[in-house]
């Protein structure tokens, strides 16, 4: 199949023919939310109803067609309804939908393919249906591997919404109602380096990675009972705004983990499977984790996730009753296998690196030209633009974030932001023409918001 399968459909976008959200969207959303509750802030800020997705476009029920800079929510990374993935799922939907965790031909192929793309020796695998379940399984696996029970995660990491996963993050703050203590006993959080907002700096003002590592070492002695099973970290923080650590952070953390016999658990649910131009984002820094989780892009929209530990620790998965009702069903395996094959066949890791360079160049020029763009960040197709009220104080500019989000959406860009960091997650198939189109829309929206708030540029 040609890798241009999506291009005809994209011709002529964005196509906005009604006010947005349009009348049908509004009516359908009102009728749905009569019953459906607990929506994300993105949806509340722009309650559009989508009817169709193909490649890099999304079409709403009023017939407006948007350029997609969200991939669902970092999920449909090969474009909506990639024909190879859809066909693979459809075949197994007709042939065998579920056989618990028995082996199937498509599972055999997926296991072999995964072992091929994963770092050497990282190949003891179990499959799940959502990222959170994979994270929960990873926490249990870490306990089983080490016979230890404490976990350290980082400020502004996100790992899911069940009680174990939520204990690796801070989800509720401010006036948001909390349904109880959000962190179970034995779960701790530490700061991790954000180059734009460093907690510790060297004399020359650059971020001091060693200071973070030294603090962790003190923390291990003073705050834990010396039973830390794992550091649980996103390789780059997705939800927090596409925040990448300095290049020396993970290598140094790996050394610290080895010194104290602590596992390094790399949660690649959001950043993995090609989004930053590598199968694992941690590959950028030559660091091999002990545990990895995948999700989101893994099945390009079909719910399938994975938890992987090193071969020598595979026995731990026998101790934790690792299987589940839906994990590894044939449709899920087919979606994951086809997705990996598409990344290989369409040379998408390479595309992500090349077009990713364009994104970064473009965002860097926005930073130079716009008073409210405090920082730009990212690798490949995992991108963030941080809006501030003042470049000196770096005060977050949430109101501007919301407005830019809404304005760009009205201009035909379906995307993710909700806070002061504009987050972008375009499908990995996107070429420079459409990358430019999206960036133009964003820059126009930023300029309009600056004008509204009285900034001159
Ligand atoms: C890094 C990370 N881990 C885990 C999860 C949870 O995945 P899911 O929403 O599929 O349960 C997410 C979701 O955004 C995530 O970003």
pLDDT tens profile 355-392: 999 999 999 999 999 999 999 999 999 999 999 999 99
In this predicted model, what pLDDT tens digit does every residue of 227-242 receive, in sequence order? Answer: 999 999 999 999 999 9
* pLDDT score of 338: 98
CA of 161 to the centre of ligand 1 (A): 8
* pLDDT score of 171: 73
* pLDDT score of 172: 66
How far is residue 408's CA from residue 69's CA, in Å, rounded to a whole number? 11
pLDDT class of 418 with cuts at 50, 70, 90 = confident
Q: Average pLDDT over the chain, rounded to whole?
A: 96
For ligand 1, atom 16, the nearest C-alpha belongs to 270
pLDDT class of 411 with cuts at 50, 70, 90 = very high
On the question of pLDDT at 248 being above 90, the answer is yes
- The bridge status of strand 65-68 relative to strand 150-154 is unpaired
Q: Left (φ > 0), alpha (ψ -120 to 50) or beta: where does 449 sit?
A: alpha
Q: How far is CA 355 from the centre of its chain?
A: 18
Pocket lining: 193 vs ligand 1, CB cutoff 6 Å: no
Which of 42, 159, 272, 418 to mutate to test ligand 1, by most ligand atoms within 8 A of the CB atom?
A: 159
How far is residue 70's CA from residue 414's CA, in Å, rounded to a whole number? 6
- The bridge status of strand 50-54 relative to strand 413-414 is unpaired
* pLDDT score of 35: 97
Q: What is the mean pLDDT of residues 155-179?
A: 80
On the question of pLDDT at 39 being above 80, the answer is yes
Pocket lining: 142 vs ligand 1, CB cutoff 6 Å: no
* pLDDT score of 267: 98
On the question of pLDDT at 179 being above 90, the answer is no
Q: Tell which residue, 378, 403, 377, has the closest CA to residue 455.
A: 403
On the question of pLDDT at 178 being above 60, the answer is no
Pocket lining: 374 vs ligand 1, CB cutoff 6 Å: no
Helices and strands counted in the chain (H then E): 15, 14
pLDDT class of 163 with cuts at 50, 70, 90 = confident
pLDDT class of 183 with cuts at 50, 70, 90 = confident
**Tokens standing for residue 40:** 């994300």
How far is residue 240's CA from residue 155's CA, in Å, rounded to a whole number? 9
Which of 71, 135, 151 to mutate to test ligand 1, by most ligand atoms within 8 A of the CB atom?
A: 135
Residues in the chain: 457
Residue 125, phi then psi, degrees to nearest 5: -120, 145
> For the chain, what is the radius of gyration of the CA atoms?
22
- 3-state class (DSSP) for residue 260: helix
Output the pTM of the full model.
0.97
In this predicted model, what pLDDT tens digit does every residue of 51-98 receive, in sequence order? Answer: 999 999 999 999 999 999 999 999 999 999 999 999 999 999 999 999
Pocket lining: 306 vs ligand 1, CB cutoff 6 Å: no
Q: What is the mean pLDDT of residues 420-447?
A: 98
CA of 236 to the centre of ligand 1 (A): 13
pLDDT class of 1 with cuts at 50, 70, 90 = confident
In this predicted model, what pLDDT tens digit does every residue of 270-302 receive, in sequence order? Answer: 999 999 999 999 999 999 999 999 999 999 999
Q: What is the mean pLDDT of residues 307-322?
A: 97
How far is residue 156's CA from residue 133's CA, in Å, rounded to a whole number? 20
Q: How far is CA 334 from CA 6, 325, 378, 429, in A?
A: 21, 17, 30, 20
**Tokens standing for residue 261:** 């016999």
Residues 6+ apart with CB under 8 A from 192: 154, 155, 156, 157, 212, 233, 237, 245, 249
Cβ atoms of 396 and 384 closer than 8 Å:
no
Which of 73, 76, 132, 163 to mutate to test ligand 1, by most ligand atoms within 8 A of the CB atom?
A: 132
pLDDT class of 345 with cuts at 50, 70, 90 = very high
């Amino acid at each position: 199949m040609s890798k241009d399968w999506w291009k005809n459909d994209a011709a002529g976008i964005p196509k906005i023919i009604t006010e947005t959200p349009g009348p049908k969207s509004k009516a359908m959303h009102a009728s749905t939310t009569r019953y459906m509750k607990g929506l994300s802030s993105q949806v509340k800020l722009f309650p559009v109803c989508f009817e169709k997705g193909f490649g890099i476009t999304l079409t709403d029920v009023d017939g407006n067609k948007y350029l997609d800079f969200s991939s669902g929510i970092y999920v449909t990374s090969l474009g909506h309804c990639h024909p190879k993935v859809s066909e693979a799922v459809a075949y197994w939907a007709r042939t065998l939908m579920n056989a618990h965790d028995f082996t199937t031909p498509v599972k055999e192929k997926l296991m072999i393919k995964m072992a091929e793309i994963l770092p050497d020796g990282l190949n003891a695998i179990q499959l799940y249906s959502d990222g959170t379940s994979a994270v929960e399984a990873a926490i249990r696996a870490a306990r089983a591997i080490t016979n230890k029970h404490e976990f350290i995660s980082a400020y502004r990491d996100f790992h899911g919404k069940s009680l174990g996963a939520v204990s690796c993050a801070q989800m509720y703050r401010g006036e948001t109602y909390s349904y109880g203590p959000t962190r179970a006993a034995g779960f701790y959080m530490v700061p991790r380096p954000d180059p734009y907002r460093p907690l510790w700096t060297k004399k020359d003002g650059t971020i001091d990675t060693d200071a973070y590592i030294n603090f962790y070492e003190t923390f291990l002695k003073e705050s834990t009972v010396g039973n830390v099973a794992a550091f649980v970290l996103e390789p780059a923080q997705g939800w927090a705004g596409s925040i990448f650590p300095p290049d020396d952070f993970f290598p140094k953390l790996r050394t610290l983990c080895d010194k104290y016999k602590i596992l390094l658990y790399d949660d690649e649910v959001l950043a993995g499977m090609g989004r930053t131009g590598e199968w694992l984002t941690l590959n950028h820094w030559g660091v091999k984790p002990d545990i990895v989780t995948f999700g989101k892009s893994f099945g390009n929209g079909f719910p399938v996730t994975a938890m992987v530990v090193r071969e020598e620790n595979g026995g731990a998965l026998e101790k934790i009753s690792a299987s589940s009702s839906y994990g590894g069903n044939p449709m899920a395996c087919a979606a994951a296998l086809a997705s990996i094959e598409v990344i290989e066949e369409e040379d998408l890791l390479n595309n992500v690196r090349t077009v990713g360079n364009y994104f970064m160049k473009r965002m860097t020029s926005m930073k130079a030209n716009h008073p409210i763009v405090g920082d730009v960040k990212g690798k490949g197709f995992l991108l963030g633009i941080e809006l501030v009220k003042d470049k000196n104080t770096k005060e977050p500019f949430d109101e501007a974030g919301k407005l830019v989000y809404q304005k760009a959406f009205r201009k035909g860009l379906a995307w993710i932001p909700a806070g002061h960091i504009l987050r972008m997650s375009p499908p990995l198939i996107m070429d420079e023409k459409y990358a430019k189109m999206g960036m133009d829309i964003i820059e126009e929206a930023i300029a309009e918001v600056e004008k509204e708030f009285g900034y001159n540029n």
